């Protein structure tokens, strides 16, 4: 029997690397169930497997019914009674048993195909009542398949081999909880390079490709996968010749990463003596240990939303304070830059809103959200200011678009500090206050803002999105989202110049800070501080140590005259390969 030809699926590269491993498909929405024929002598056992899964699903439903009757109402319990009735309906069950016992269809596929037919029939009737019934049937299908195939998280915990995780999408919380040693890569249908889930996944230090559209429809559990982040592609069932090519590329990259990992103690200084400060972007205090392991010199961006996203209840002041103090203590005297809450555009906040916004990225988010939720904002500021007594700390306000927003935020911060001092709390008077430059209006007005802050941090993830009018989580227009866009480069350059003129420290904390394709350009534009995912620090440091300031400035002038983002990107890649040829596979594709 001939092997099926290999397939290639294009996605969006997020975290660098090359990985070769079996696929593990995380079941979400409608599962893709493999089909095979069971030999006659094994059909009775397959039928028994179905009956056991059916009974287990009914037991689950009965338990849910009793719980609903006890904790909710008799009306709620009737929903589960309806479900139990469906699972005893011969018109549904007899065809499944016939497919297994007579036709030899495997139980998983027999269940999925029979339930799918009923779901399609209900949906075709056009009424909302029948669409609701279709959802009921879908829930029953999942319950039975869970018992037949095993729940994904349970199967993940039992893995004995390394896998590439394949999923439709992951929430930021799910991505953060993927700390499973056997998961060596991730590919998803949905997502963009710089949405929160991708950022969380990249922090795991594994190759990540998102925005693959329909990879879950083309991959089965156990398929051999090549995850090639150089080109943002996934190769399914590669032939031997292709496998050999990628094994060699993977080996070269691993050797390079090993060599860079041994040099983490070296300073990030160009060949002609220019010092570049490399800081870390973190979400959790425990990431500080990884940051120091990779040679980071402090935290340039501490995202503080996670405690709010994992719970229905807001964290208390004490919970926030403990997180910040733990980070400062682990840093051992190095600076911690805390970004105040960037909530509003995330799914969690929108789901909790009485009236979800149609376009939350252009709505009440970040500093706007904080200024309209003052008790929450003041609670966070109190925790930050109290923690400032433990170690060096900087406060950074996100998504500032007007001077009014900045002055309001500073005024509230000052009021909170006064309240704490009246309570006898020692609040340092010299805490540096900064802002993120994430929208074109702020970049264009950087000279004005520089009179009111101690430092800038350029957030290119949002700056690109708002400059080129592309949703950074929308895979359909991902080709237009590019840090090499000439307009983006000019805005970054304008902010750096404005900061220099007034002596305002300027850093860059977007994802391109960790992409070695852009390292020479950023230095050439005048940046002397970058904040990035800790695992990316050694690669960026290698580039810095192999170039001169003159080379970087010459490159910045050269691409500054180009009108095409593709031409700019091509030249940047060529220069990166010239400087660091052994890092092939170690940078993100744009």
284 and 229 in one domain?
no
Residue 30's pLDDT band, with cuts at 50, 70 and 90, is: very low
Question: Which of 83, 509, 552, 565 is an active site residue?
Answer: 509
Identify the domain containing residue 193 by its residue range. Answer: 7-27+153-255
DSSP annotation string for 198-232: HHHHHTTTS-EEE--SSHHHH--TT-EEEEETTTT
In-domain check, residue 243: yes
Residue 479's pLDDT band, with cuts at 50, 70 and 90, is: confident
Strand partners, 226: 20, 235
Average pLDDT over residues 378-402: 97
- Range among 63-72, 107-116, 123-132, 496-505 with highest mean pLDDT value: 496-505
Average pLDDT over residues 44-67: 86
Task: Identify the residue with better confidence: 310 or 572.
Answer: 572
Asked if the model's pLDDT at residue 587 lies above 50, the reply is no
In-domain check, residue 514: yes
Average pLDDT over residues 343-367: 66
Average pLDDT over residues 425-446: 96
Question: What does the alpha-carbon distance between residue 128 and residue 135 come to, in Å, rounded to a whole number?
Answer: 11
- Range among 57-66, 349-358, 505-514 with highest mean pLDDT value: 505-514
In-domain check, residue 33: no
CA angle, residues 124, 128, 132, in degrees to nearest 5: 90
Asked if the model's pLDDT at residue 127 lies above 60, the reply is no
Asked if the model's pLDDT at residue 1 lies above 50, the reply is no
Asked if the model's pLDDT at residue 441 lies above 60, the reply is yes
163 and 134 in one domain?
no
pLDDT at site 511: 86
State which of 218, 233, 255 marks the end of a domain: 255
Q: Pairing between strand 233-236 and 7-10?
A: antiparallel
In-domain check, residue 483: yes
462 and 379 in one domain?
yes
336 and 298 in one domain?
yes
| High-pLDDT (> 70) share of the chain, % | 81
Task: Give the domain CATH number at 181.
Answer: 3.50.30.10
* Integer CA distances (angstroms), 484 to 281, 502, 507, in order: 22, 27, 18
Strand partners, 19: 227
Burial of 366 (0-12, 13-18, 19+ CB in 10 A): buried
pLDDT at site 182: 80
pTM above 0.85, yes or no: no
* Integer CA distances (angstroms), 256 to 171, 253, 260, 276, 584, in order: 32, 5, 6, 21, 9
3-state secondary structure of 394: strand
Q: Three-state SS across 21-33? A: EEEEECCCCCCCC
Question: What does the alpha-carbon distance between residue 72 and residue 208 come to, in Å, rounded to a whole number?
Answer: 42
In-domain check, residue 32: no
Question: What does the alpha-carbon distance between residue 572 and residue 106 come to, in Å, rounded to a whole number?
Answer: 53
16 and 67 in one domain?
no
* Domain count within the chain: 3
Asked if the model's pLDDT at residue 123 lies above 80, the reply is no
* Integer CA distances (angstroms), 225 to 23, 70, 197, 288, 381, in order: 6, 48, 22, 32, 47
191 and 87 in one domain?
no
State which of 150, 166, 199 marks the end of a domain: 150
Asked if the model's pLDDT at residue 132 lies above 70, the reply is no
- Range among 151-155, 372-376, 582-586 with highest mean pLDDT value: 372-376
In-domain check, residue 71: yes
Task: Give the domain CATH number at 303.
Answer: 3.20.20.60
Q: In the annotation, is 196 catalytic?
A: yes
Task: Give the domain CATH number at 120.
Answer: 1.10.274.10
168 and 115 in one domain?
no
430 and 554 in one domain?
yes
Q: In the annotation, is 509 catalytic?
A: yes
Q: What is the number of other CB atoms lying within 10 angstroms of the CB of residue 58?
A: 17
Question: What does the alpha-carbon distance between residue 461 and residue 443 come to, in Å, rounded to a whole number?
Answer: 14
229 near 17, Cβ under 8 Å?
A: yes
Task: Identify the residue with better confidence: 559 or 65.
Answer: 559
Question: Which of 83, 196, 212, 565 is an active site residue?
Answer: 196
475 and 387 in one domain?
yes
pLDDT at site 473: 64
Question: What does the alpha-carbon distance between residue 487 and residue 445 come to, in Å, rounded to a whole number?
Answer: 15
Asked if the model's pLDDT at residue 366 lies above 50, the reply is yes
With a CB cutoff of 8 Å and minimum separation 6, the contacts of 77 are 65, 66, 68, 69
Question: What does the alpha-carbon distance between residue 91 and residue 475 come to, in Å, rounded to a whole number?
Answer: 42
Average pLDDT over residues 402-416: 97
Asked if the model's pLDDT at residue 523 lies above 60, the reply is yes
pLDDT at site 589: 40
Average pLDDT over residues 557-581: 93
168 and 97 in one domain?
no
Q: Choose the weakest-confidence range: 184-193, 281-290, 409-418.
A: 184-193
- Range among 258-267, 310-319, 373-382 with highest mean pLDDT value: 373-382
Structure tokens at 10: 């294009």
pLDDT at site 222: 83
417 and 554 in one domain?
yes
Average pLDDT over residues 337-346: 84
In-domain check, residue 35: no
Q: What is the pLDDT of the chain when averaged over all its residues?
A: 84
Question: What does the alpha-carbon distance between residue 264 and residue 362 come to, in Å, rounded to a whole number?
Answer: 40
Listed in sequence order, the DSSP H helices in 283-402 are 287-293, 306-309, 317-331, 347-352, 367-372, 374-387
Task: Identify the residue with better confidence: 504 or 286.
Answer: 504
pLDDT at site 524: 97
Query: What single DSSP character describes residue 430?
Result: -
Strand partners, 188: 167
In-domain check, residue 588: no
State which of 88, 122, 150 marks the end of a domain: 150
pLDDT at site 165: 86
Asked if the model's pLDDT at residue 481 lies above 80, the reply is yes
Structure tokens at 443: 């970049």
Please write the tens of the pLDDT for every residue from 162-182.
888 888 776 554 565 555 678
479 and 367 in one domain?
yes
Question: What is the phi/psi pair of residue 120, to 5°?
Answer: -65, -40
């Amino acid at each position: 029997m001939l092997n099926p030809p290999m397939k290639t699926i294009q996605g969006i590269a997020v975290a660098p690397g090359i990985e070769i491993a079996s696929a593990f498909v995380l079941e979400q929405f409608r599962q893709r169930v493999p089909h095979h024929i069971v030999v006659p002598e094994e059909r009775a056992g397959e039928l028994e497997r179905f009956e056991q899964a059916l009974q287990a699903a009914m037991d689950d439903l009965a338990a849910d019914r009793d719980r609903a009757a006890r904790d909710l109402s008799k009306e709620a319990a009737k929903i589960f009674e309806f479900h139990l009735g469906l699972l005893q309906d011969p018109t549904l069950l007899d065809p499944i048993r016939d497919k297994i016992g007579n036709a030899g269809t495997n139980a998983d596929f027999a269940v999925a195909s029979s339930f799918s037919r009923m779901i399609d029939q209900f949906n075709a009737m056009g009424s909302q009542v029948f669409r609701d019934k279709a959802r009921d049937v879908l829930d029953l299908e999942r319950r039975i398949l869970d018992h037949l195939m095993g729940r994904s998280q349970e199967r993940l915990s039992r893995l004995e081999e390394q896998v590439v995780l394949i999923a439709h999408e992951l929430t930021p919380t799910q991505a953060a909880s993927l700390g499973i040693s056997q998961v060596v890569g991730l590919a998803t249908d949905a997502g963009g390079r710089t949405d929160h889930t991708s950022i969380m996944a990249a922090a795991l230090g594994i190759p990540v490709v998102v925005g693959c559209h329909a990879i879950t429809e083309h991959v089965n559990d156990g398929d051999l996968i090549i995850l090639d982040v150089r080109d943002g592609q996934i190769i399914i069932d590669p032939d031997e010749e292709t496998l050999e090519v990628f094994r060699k590329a993977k080996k070269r990259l691993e050797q390079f990463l090993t060599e860079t990992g041994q040099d983490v103690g070296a300073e990030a200084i160009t060949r002609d003596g220019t010092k570049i400060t490399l800081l870390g972007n973190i979400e959790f205090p425990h990431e500080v240990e990884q940051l120091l392991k990779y040679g980071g010199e402090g935290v340039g961006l501490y995202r503080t939303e996670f405690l709010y996203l994992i719970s229905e209840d807001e964290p208390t002041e004490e919970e926030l304070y403990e997180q910040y103090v733990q980070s400062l203590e682990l840093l051992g005297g190095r600076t911690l830059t805390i970004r105040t809450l960037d909530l509003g555009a995330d799914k969690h906040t929108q789901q909790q809103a009485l009236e979800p916004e149609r376009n939350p990225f252009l709505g009440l988010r970040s500093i706007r959200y904080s200024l309209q939720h003052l008790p929450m904002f003041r609670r966070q500021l109190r925790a930050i200011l109290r923690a400032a007594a433990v170690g060096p700390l900087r406060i950074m306000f996100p998504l500032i678009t007007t001077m009014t927003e900045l002055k309001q935020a500073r005024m509230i911060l000052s009021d909170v500090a006064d309240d704490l001092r009246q309570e006898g709390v020692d609040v340092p008077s010299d805490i540096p206050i900064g802002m993120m430059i994430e929208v074109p209006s702020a970049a264009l007005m950087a000279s004005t803002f520089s009179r009111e802050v101690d430092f800038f941090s350029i957030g290119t993830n949002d700056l690109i999105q708002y400059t080129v009018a592309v949703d950074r989580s929308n895979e359909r227009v991902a080709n237009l989202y590019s840090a090499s866009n000439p307009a983006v480069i000019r805005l970054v350059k304008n902010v750096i110049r404005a900061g220099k003129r007034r002596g305002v420290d300027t850093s860059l904390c977007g994802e391109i800070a960790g992409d070695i394709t852009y390292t020479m350009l950023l230095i050439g534009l005048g940046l002397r501080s970058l904040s990035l995912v800790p695992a990316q620090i050694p690669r960026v440091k290698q580039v810095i140590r192999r170039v001169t300031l003159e080379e970087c400035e010459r490159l910045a002038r050269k691409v500054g005259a180009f009108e095409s983002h593709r031409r700019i990107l091509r030249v940047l890649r060529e220069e990166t390969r010239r400087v660091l040829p052994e890092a092939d596979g170690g940078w993100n594709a744009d």
